[in-house]
C-alpha cells in the first residue's frame, strides 16, 4: 500500500475519498433484566423482527402505528411518494391539538399534570391536561379575534414559559402554522424569519429571566417590526413586568385579551398534510431556511419515538432541557410527550444559575424520571465538578438521553456513572430539524449500548453509510449518512423554495436523503456519527471526523471539553487546531499540551495529533448549547484572530475577546 502523499490543496467534500474513522470503543453496556422486562421493546430479537417487518412492508407498519392517533376521518392511502416529495395518510383528517389534549380529557388523565414549569427565579406553575386545554382554547380564540384563519402563519417569539407551548397548540387547534423563533435571536434574525414566512401576527413577551436578570424581548419585536409590513397584531405576555412600549392598535396584552373571549374553542379537523409549523434551521447563511412540517406524519413520528425510545410511562416526569425555539423543544417538550399523555417539565433559565447545580435541584425537587439534554451541557457539568451533584437525590432517574451532536465516549461514561449512578440506560439520539423525530437511537430495554454510538435505526428508517456513488461502504469505513426511503415525519419542503429543498437534501446521493453528516457502521451494524461533512478535516490525504479527534482529547482525565477545527496549511491541506477547556483546578502548561498531543496519537494515530492546542476557559456556544465551530475556524485561520461572522446567537459575547487571547 502506498503512503498518502501530502496535499497542498484541501479536498472538497463532494469529490473526497471516504472518511477515515480511527477511534475505537470496545465498552458495551447491556440493558438490565429488570429494565428490559418492564420496557415495551425488551429484547434485540423483538427489535430486529419489528424493524425488518417495518422495512419489508412500510405501509402496513405505518398504517397500523397511525391507529394510535385520534383521527376525525380515516386516511385512504398510507403514502404517496413522488421523489423527493411525500404525502402521508392521504385523505385523512386530524388535529394535533386534539391528539395532545382533548383525547386525554375523558378519563383520569384530565387531572394529571401535563406541564410543570419552573421559572428561573423559582416560581412553579403546574397545568393539568384540563387546565392546559382551557388555556389553549383561550389563546386560540384570541388569535381568531385578531383575524387569524387556517393557513395564516403565526410567529412565536417567547422565552421558555408555558405560553410558548400553549401558543403552539393554539395555532394547531385552528390550523394556523406556527413558526417559533428562539427568543435569543436578534431583531434582525426575527425580521428575516417573519418576512420569509409572511407572518400575520406575533406572540411575544415583555421579557424573560436569564442569569438573574430580566432581559428585554418586546423591544426586539419593536425593532424587527420596522421592516415587517405584513404583521397586523402583536400579542404580549406579561412575564417580567418591565416597562415596554405598547403601540395602540397593534400591541395587545394577552392577559387582557383572554378576558374578552370564550374558553371553548372546538378543534377543526385538517387534512393530514396540512402545514403544522415552519422552523428555521440555526446557523443558516443567507436567506433563512424554513423547514416545513405537516400534521399527521410529524405527530406520529414524535408520538412513537417518545413512547418507545424514552419508554415513557404514565407515572413519569420527563425533563427535556431544550428550548421550544428548536426542533427538540417542538418534538420532545411538546408534541411527543403530550400526545402520549405524559408530564413535561419546562425550565426557563440556565443550568448554572444561581449555582451550577440547578438541573440537579430540578431533578431532585420534581422527582424527574427521564432526563434529556445535550453533550455540550454534559461537558459543562463535568467541568463544574462532581461536587455539585453530591447534595441532591437523583434516584428518581431511570433513563437518560442525549441530543444535539455526537456524545464523546468519556462524557457518556461520566453521564452514565455520575448522573445515572450506573443504572440508567442512555438513549443517544441522532436526528435533525429536517427529520422531525429520532432516526437512530437505542431502544433502552433491548439495545446493548456502546458509549458514543447512536446505535441502530428506529422502525421504518432505512439508514446507510455510503460513498459518493451511493454504494454502502465496508464495515468501519466512514462515508455519508443517508436515509434511503421516506418516513412520516420528514420535512415536506423548504418553505417557499421547493427547488432549494430538492438541491439541498436530495441531489448529493441519487434517490437518498443526505443528512450532511459523516458516519461509519461497525461490525454489529451500529452507527457512529463522525461529524458534519463540512467539518471533516483533510489532513495529508486523510479525511478525519472532528468528533473523533474531540473525543480522543476529552478522554484525557484533565480535559472537560474540546472543539476541533481546521486551518489552511500549505503542506498538509489542513492543520488540526484544538480549543481545549480544562477541568476546574487544572492548569495549562506546555507539558500538558505535549501530553494531549501524545494522547491523541495513542488514541487515534499520529496523523490526528493537533498542530495547535489553545487552552480557553470557555468555548463559544449558542444559547441552545451548540459550539459555534465556524467562529473557531475564523479564530484559527486568522493571524490576529479576527472574527467577521454573525455573532447574534452567541451566548456570551465576552468569550470572543478571550478566544483571541487564548493560550496557544
Residue 135: its H or E element: helix 129-145
Calpha distance 248→253 (Å, rounded): 11
Residue 432 lies in a domain: no
Q: Are 288 and 112 in contact (CB under 8 A)?
A: no
Longest dimension (CA), the chain: 78
Name the CA dihedral angle for 163, 165, 169, 175, rounded to a multiple of 10 degrees. 90
Residue 559 lies in a domain: yes
3-state secondary structure of 548: helix
Closest CA to 514 of 543, 469, 480, 546: 480
Residue 367 lies in a domain: no
Closest CA to 500 of 288, 317, 316, 279: 288
Which residues in the chain show pLDDT less than 50?
A: 1-17, 283-285, 664
Report the half-sphere exposure of 476 (CA within 13 A, side-chain side): 7
- Cell 394529571 locates to 112
Residue 579 lies in a domain: yes
What is the structure's pLDDT at 283? 43
Strands 527-532 and 559-569: unpaired
Q: Is 638 left (phi over 0), alpha (psi -120 to 50) or beta?
A: beta
Count of beta carbons in the 10 Å neighbourhood of residue 571 = 9
- pLDDT tens digits, one per residue of 83-102: 999 999 999 999 999 999 99
Calpha distance 559→599 (Å, rounded): 12
Find the distance separating the first CA and the last CA of the chain, reported in whole Å.
36
Residue 572 lies in a domain: yes
3-state secondary structure of 499: helix
Calpha distance 412→426 (Å, rounded): 8
Residue 596 lies in a domain: yes
What is the structure's pLDDT at 646? 59
Note the Cα 248 to chain centre separation in Å.
38
* Number of domain units in the chain: 1
* CA triple 488-492-494, angle to 5 deg: 150
Strands 317-320 and 370-373: parallel
CATH number (domain holding residue 634)? 3.30.300.30
Q: Are 155 and 232 in contact (CB under 8 A)?
A: no
Which alpha helices (DSSP H) does 266-309 contain, by range?
Answer: 295-309
Q: For residue 322, what is its C-alpha cell?
A: 431544550
Calpha distance 446→468 (Å, rounded): 33
What is the structure's pLDDT at 575? 86
Calpha distance 627→620 (Å, rounded): 6
Calpha distance 315→233 (Å, rounded): 40
- Cell 479536498 locates to 11
Count of beta carbons in the 10 Å neighbourhood of residue 654 = 10
Q: For residue 119, what is its C-alpha cell?
A: 421559572
Helix 162-174 vs helix 129-145: crossing angle, to nearest 10: 60
Residue 571 lies in a domain: yes
What is the structure's pLDDT at 12? 34
Q: For residue 587, what is its C-alpha cell?
A: 492548569
Closest CA to 101 of 173, 22, 51, 28: 173
Residue 519 lies in a domain: no
Query: 18-28 as b/e, with b when 16 or more CB fall inside 10 Å?
Result: bbbbbbebeee
- pLDDT tens digits, one per residue of 505-534: 999 999 999 988 999 999 999 999 987 887
Closest CA to 607 of 549, 557, 655, 567: 549
pTM score over 0.75 = yes
Q: Provide the residue range defining the domain that includes 591.
A: 536-660
Strands 343-347 and 317-320: parallel
What is the structure's pLDDT at 627? 80
3-state secondary structure of 599: helix
> Got the DSSP string for 406-455?
PPPHHHHHHIIIIISTTTS-EEE-B--TTT-S-SB---TTTPPB-TT--B
Count of beta carbons in the 10 Å neighbourhood of residue 98 = 24
Amino acid at each position: 500500500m502506498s503512503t498518502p502523499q501530502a496535499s497542498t490543496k484541501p479536498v472538497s467534500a463532494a469529490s473526497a475519498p471516504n472518511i477515515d474513522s480511527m477511534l475505537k470503543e470496545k465498552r458495551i453496556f447491556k440493558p438490565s433484566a429488570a429494565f428490559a422486562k418492564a420496557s415495551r421493546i425488551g429484547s434485540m430479537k423483538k427489535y430486529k423482527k419489528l424493524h425488518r417487518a417495518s422495512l419489508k412492508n412500510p405501509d402496513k407498519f405505518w398504517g397500523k402505528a397511525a391507529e394510535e392517533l385520534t383521527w376525525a376521518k380515516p386516511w385512504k392511502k398510507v403514502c404517496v411518494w413522488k421523489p423527493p416529495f411525500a404525502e402521508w395518510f392521504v385523505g385523512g383528517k386530524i388535529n394535533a391539538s386534539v391528539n395532545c389534549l382533548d383525547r386525554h380529557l375523558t378519563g383520569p388523565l384530565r387531572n394529571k399534570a401535563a406541564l410543570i414549569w419552573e421559572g428561573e427565579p423559582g416560581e412553579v406553575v403546574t397545568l393539568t391536561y384540563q387546565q392546559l386545554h382551557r388555556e389553549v382554547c383561550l389563546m386560540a380564540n384570541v388569535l381568531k379575534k385578531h383575524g387569524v384563519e387556517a393557513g395564516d402563519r403565526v410567529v412565536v417569539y417567547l422565552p421558555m414559559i408555558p405560553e410558548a407551548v400553549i401558543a403552539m397548540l393554539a395555532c394547531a387547534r385552528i390550523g394556523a402554522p406556527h413558526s417559533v423563533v428562539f427568543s435569543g435571536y436578534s431583531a434582525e434574525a426575527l425580521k428575516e424569519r417573519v418576512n420569509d414566512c409572511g407572518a400575520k401576527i406575533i406572540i411575544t413577551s415583555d421579557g424573560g429571566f436569564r442569569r438573574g436578570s430580566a432581559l428585554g424581548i418586546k423591544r426586539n419585536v419593536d425593532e424587527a417590526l420596522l421592516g415587517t409590513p405584513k404583521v397586523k397584531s402583536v400579542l404580549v405576555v406579561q412575564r417580567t413586568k418591565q416597562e415596554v412600549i405598547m403601540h395602540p392598535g397593534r400591541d395587545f396584552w394577552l392577559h387582557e385579551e383572554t378576558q374578552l373571549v370564550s374558553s371553548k374553542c372546538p378543534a377543526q379537523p385538517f387534512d393530514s398534510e396540512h402545514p403544522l409549523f415552519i422552523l428555521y434551521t440555526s446557523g443558516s447563511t443567507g436567506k433563512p431556511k424554513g423547514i416545513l412540517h405537516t400534521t399527521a406524519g410529524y405527530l406520529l413520528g414524535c408520538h412513537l419515538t417518545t413512547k418507545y425510545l424514552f419508554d415513557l410511562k404514565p407515572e413519569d416526569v420527563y425533563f427535556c432541557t431544550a428550548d421550544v425555539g428548536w426542533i427538540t423543544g417542538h418534538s420532545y417538550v411538546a408534541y411527543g410527550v403530550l400526545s402520549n399523555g405524559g408530564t413535561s417539565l419546562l425550565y426557563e433559565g440556565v443550568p448554572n444559575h444561581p449555582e451550577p447545580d440547578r438541573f440537579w435541584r430540578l431533578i431532585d425537587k420534581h422527582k424527574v424520571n427521564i432526563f434529556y439534554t445535550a453533550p455540550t451541557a454534559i461537558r459543562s457539568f463535568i467541568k463544574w465538578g462532581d461536587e455539585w451533584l453530591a447534595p441532591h437525590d437523583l434516584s428518581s432517574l431511570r433513563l437518560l438521553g442525549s441530543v444535539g451532536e455526537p456524545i464523546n465516549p468519556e462524557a457518556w461514561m461520566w453521564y452514565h456513572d455520575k448522573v445515572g449512578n450506573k443504572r440508567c440506560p442512555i438513549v443517544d439520539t441522532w436526528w435533525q430539524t429536517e427529520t422531525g423525530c429520532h432516526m437512530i437511537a437505542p431502544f433502552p430495554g433491548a439495545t446493548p449500548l456502546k458509549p458514543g454510538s447512536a446505535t441502530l435505526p428506529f422502525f421504518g428508517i432505512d439508514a446507510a453509510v455510503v460513498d459518493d456513488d451511493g454504494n454502502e461502504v465496508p464495515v468501519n469505513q466512514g462515508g455519508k449518512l443517508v436515509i434511503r426511503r421516506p418516513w412520516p415525519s420528514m420535512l415536506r419542503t423548504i418553505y417557499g423554495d421547493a427547488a432549494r429543498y430538492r438541491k439541498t437534501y436530495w441531489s448529493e446521493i441519487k434517490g437518498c436523503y443526505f443528512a450532511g453528516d459523516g458516519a461509519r457502521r461497525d461490525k454489529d451494524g451500529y452507527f457512529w456519527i463522525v461529524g458534519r461533512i463540512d467539518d471533516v478535516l483533510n489532513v495529508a490525504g486523510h479525511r478525519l471526523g472532528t468528533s473523533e479527534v474531540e473525543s480522543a482529547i476529552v478522554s484525557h482525565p484533565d480535559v472537560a471539553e474540546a472543539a476541533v477545527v481546521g486551518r489552511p496549511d500549505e503542506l498538509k491541506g489542513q492543520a488540526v487546531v484544538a480549543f481545549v477547556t480544562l477541568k476546574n483546578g487544572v492548569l495549562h502548561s506546555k507539558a500538558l499540551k505535549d501530553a494531549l498531543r501524545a494522547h491523541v496519537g495513542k488514541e487515534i494515530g499520529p496523523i490526528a495529533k493537533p498542530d495547535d492546542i489553545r487552552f480557553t476557559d470557555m468555548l463559544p456556544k449558542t444559547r441552545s448549547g451548540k459550539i459555534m465551530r465556524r467562529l473557531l475556524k475564523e479564530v484559527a485561520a486568522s493571524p490576529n484572530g479576527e472574527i467577521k461572522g454573525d455573532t447574534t446567537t452567541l451566548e456570551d459575547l465576552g468569550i470572543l475577546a478571550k478566544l483571541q487571547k487564548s493560550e496557544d
